[in-house]
């Protein structure tokens, strides 16, 4: 029974957090879109296209954050057999894949007018594409086994192996020559972008994070109900066999 104690406690906590996260996401998206589209200045080099940044950069941060959190969950699942860790990884994966896709496509839409190309096979873009495939691979792998325990185990190992990609993405702009501009927010010596652009970016980043928290809670609840259905079916099969 102690196996279910943690999910039960989690569900109580999640019910408290969900309305706040959803509300914060709505408020921050409204404020962030206003600031990003109307209140912030055009860039002196990139003109209006700089507004793509307010989608592209939060999506990229979330893509890396979600993957890192899934890798931590995978380690927790493998070492301590925490029952919620695998559930979290399964619930978060489609969201992380969505953020990565957004980052790649908006980056392309930004690159076309500013770099003169939709895509280059340089380190930053390629490592981000690999991250997208890691998400898809994880989602395919966990559902590829008849026994969900084996699927989860294989998925956790994939997550841990793939985490090597995260520092490669982060430092790719420093380690290799690339069209992609270097970090301008999380860098030594503080952000190098003007507060008029930093604020909308921060608000949009909070909106993305709050959105993720709200939706991942919904998805975890769904996964837990699915597990309960599975357990119920197993006991019914067992009682029918008696």
Partner 1 sequence: MSEFFAMGGHAAYIWSSYGLAALVLLALLLVSLRGLRRQQALLAALETAHPSRRRRRQTAEEGLAAPGAPARSGAHAPAGEGGLS
Using CB under 8 A, list all residues that contact partner 1: 1-2, 4-5, 8, 33, 37-38, 42, 47-49, 51-52, 55-56, 59, 94-95, 98, 101-102, 105-106, 109-110, 112-113, 211, 215, 218-219, 221-222, 225-226, 228-229, 231-233, 235-236, 239
As measured in angstroms, the least distance from the Cβ of 25 to partner 1 is 9
Q: CA–CA separation, 60 vs 97, rounded Å?
A: 11
Angle between helices 53-80 and 83-114 (to 10 degrees): 160
As measured in angstroms, the least distance from the Cβ of 188 to partner 1 is 29
Nearer to partner 1, 2 or 164 (CB): 2
As measured in angstroms, the least distance from the Cβ of 129 to partner 1 is 17
Q: Is 61 in contact with 225 (CB distance < 8 Å)?
A: no
Burial status of residue 77 (CB atoms within 10 A of its CB: 0-12, 13-18, 19 or more): buried
Nearer to partner 1, 157 or 218 (CB): 218
Nearer to partner 1, 54 or 153 (CB): 54
Nearer to partner 1, 55 or 158 (CB): 55
Half-sphere exposure of 171 (CA within 13 A, CB side): 7
As measured in angstroms, the least distance from the Cβ of 106 to partner 1 is 4
As measured in angstroms, the least distance from the Cβ of 86 to partner 1 is 17
Nearer to partner 1, 106 or 165 (CB): 106
As measured in angstroms, the least distance from the Cβ of 206 to partner 1 is 14
Q: Which of these, 53, 58, 55, lies nearest to 43 by C-alpha position?
A: 53
Nearer to partner 1, 4 or 133 (CB): 4
């Amino acid at each position: 029974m102690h196996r279910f104690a943690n999910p039960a406690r989690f569900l109580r906590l999640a019910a408290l957090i969900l309305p706040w996260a959803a509300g914060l996401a709505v408020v921050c998206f409204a404020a962030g879109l206003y600031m990003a589209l109307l209140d912030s200045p055009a860039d002196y080099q990139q003109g209006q296209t700089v507004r793509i940044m307010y989608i592209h950069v939060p999506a990229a941060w979330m893509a890396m954050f979600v993957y890192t959190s899934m890798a931590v969950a995978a380690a927790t699942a493998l070492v301590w057999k925490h029952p919620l860790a695998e559930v979290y990884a399964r619930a978060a994966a489609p969201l992380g894949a969505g953020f990565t896709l957004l980052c790649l496509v908006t980056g392309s839409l930004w690159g076309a007018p500013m770099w003169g190309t939709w895509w280059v096979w340089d380190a930053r873009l390629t490592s981000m594409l690999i991250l997208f495939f890691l998400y898809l691979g994880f989602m395919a792998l966990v559902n590829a086994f008849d026994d969900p325990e084996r699927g989860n185990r294989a998925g956790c190992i994939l997550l841990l192996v793939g985490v090597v990609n995260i520092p490669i993405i982060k430092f790719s702009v420093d380690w290799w020559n690339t069209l992609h501009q270097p970090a301008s927010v999380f860098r030594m010596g503080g952000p190098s972008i003007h507060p008029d652009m930093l604020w909308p970016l921060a608000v949009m980043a909070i909106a993305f994070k709050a959105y993720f928290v709200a939706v991942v809670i919904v998805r975890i609840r769904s996964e837990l109900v699915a597990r309960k259905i599975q357990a119920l079916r197993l006991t019914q099969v067992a009682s029918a066999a008696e």
